[in-house]
Chain A
Amino acid sequence: MPASRLSPMGAQVFRYTRSALSGRPRNKAEAQRQGRRLAEKVRAELDLGSAAIRDLAALIETHFGVDVDLSPLGRDADGLCAHTGEQALIVASTDFPDGHVRFTMAHELGHHLLADPREVIAENGEQMYSDNIVERRVNAFAAHLLLPDAGVQSVLASLDIPADELPTGNDRVQRALGNLMYRFGVSLPALLFQLADLRVLSFDEVAVLRQTLRAGQVTARHRLAASVPQLAAPLAESVCEVVRPPQRLLETALTAARARKIGTSLLATLLDREDDAGLFEEVMGDEDDAGRPIR
């Protein structure tokens, strides 16, 4: 298997964390600031602007030399980050809604970028959202990476939602929240948490909205308003159960299968597929007897 590599932009991010964020934050406010600064640095280095990140797993693998595995692993753990000097792996359970899984990936990336000294960091929701200063820093990183301030403000402005209307949680607000969830691929709790951090809502207002709003209801209102068909709807409110093996591993297995060095059973396992015959057709495509593509 080829070695995992940092992109030049990813290497720049690592240099930044080593020089500017190497120490443990002294308090919660500093943890919050450091997480935000790191997210902004990542967005700046990768030239992401304030746009949504569509394929977060691919972005992590491409720029930070980390393998990402997404599998339905149950709800006992959200995810883990295992890293040594040379290798790093992020695993996220997809027995959660899509927005939750993306937050877990971003959270675990934060641990890796900030060189969390633990070699294996396995976490459930309770640990991820604990008041621990280290967790607070990576949560801030994840929130600002997925939901950049400028992106949120621009959506709210384009929907013409005044700041004093947001706490009402009325239909228009729900459509706006659904729009943000859909556009940025985040869960409702993560969105509300971030709106508080961005001072768009107060923490008390967030607490009320968390009590009264349901993710399904919010995204349904957005879908109706935007004519988003059910099938194209975000997975923010449904369990996604995606299976995504690390790309490096999958590419290596595909190459070996095409060269007839391995069968298709390993690929079937990696992709959680049952139909070996169909998989064979997809993997081999139209090839001649020697495995060369037919033109």
Chain B
Amino acid sequence: MTRMTPGGQSGDARLVGVGGVSVTTLSSASTSLSPDQPWIWFSDTSALISAAVSTDLGKAIQVAIGTNKAMLLDVVVAELRHRAEVDGRGSLAAIAKGVLTQFGEPVTTPKYVNTQQVRTIQAIIAGGRPLKHDLEHWAESVTIEMMRGAHQRGSRLRFRFLTEDYNARIEAAQIPTCEPWSTPRLLWELVQKGDLTPHSAAAIADDLQRVHRGPNVTAAEFAGKRRSKLGRAGQP
């Protein structure tokens, strides 16, 4: 895993703020993506909390990211801190907060996103339900807006967005260069690539299900070719 920040070059890609949005400095005009193009990984608060359930899931995420780049956003850190305060010591949020350093320095996002656009995405994800608090769905919305801005400006970067929120994944999937995954989907992909055994994936899924953070998925279903067996967690 390579750490990356918007202003600083890291590996062969970097994001820079231009006109309030993030763009890549890689050859800029083409939007055609090559299969060997590296992925930029974003993780939402919900996925980090899931990773706190099982150290094996945390390791699986690191395996999936591999030598690609991961970005940790300040809004995700802020939400985790808030939830850790509310939920208290020993909570999943507090555990997740404790292992954030592996993702590097958080990126300060306000200068890279248009707040009005973020609010629009937040409203779409909420789908008309009143927000429980102002920051509900905010971190996912900021992440989606950063990816969308990069794509709209011709970035060739590909994004993987790890989030347990189905509505956020659907919204992120509208960006052609983004592949949103839930953590069960990540496990399934690893099993399909042979990077994880179906039984290990099922054991992690059991841990997630026990704390109501994932569906009941058997080893056979992880080994099967039909992602739809994961239900909502397998979509999009």
Contacts and interface: CB of A to CB of B under 8 A. Distances in A.
A46 B126 CA distance: 41
B234 interface: yes
Contacts of B219: none
Interface string A207-225: 0000000000000000000
A187 interface: no
B130 to A, nearest CB: 9
Nearest to A266: B127
Nearest to B236: A260
Given A280-B231, A288-B228, A289-B227, A264 B166 contact: yes
A280 B169 CA distance: 14
B74 interface: no
B152 to A, nearest CB: 18
Interface residues of A, number: 20
Contacts of B128: 265-266, 269-270
Interface string B39-50: 000000000000
B167 A263 contact: yes
Contact of B234 (A269, A276, A277, A289): A289
Interface string B200-236: 0000000000000000000000000011100110111
Nearest to B230: A289
Contacts, number: 53
Contacts of A270: 128
A222 B124 CA distance: 48
A266 B127 CA distance: 4
B89 interface: no
B226 A262 contact: no
A150 interface: no
Contacts of A288: 226, 228
Contacts of A204: none
Contacts of A269: 127-129
Contacts of A260: 170, 173, 235-236
A287 B173 CA distance: 18
A261 interface: yes
Contacts of A289: 226-228, 234
Interface string B113-137: 0000000000011111100000000
Which 10 pairs show the lowest CB-CB distances between chains A and B? Answer: A265-B127, A263-B167, A269-B128, A266-B127, A263-B170, A280-B232, A265-B167, A289-B227, A260-B236, A269-B127
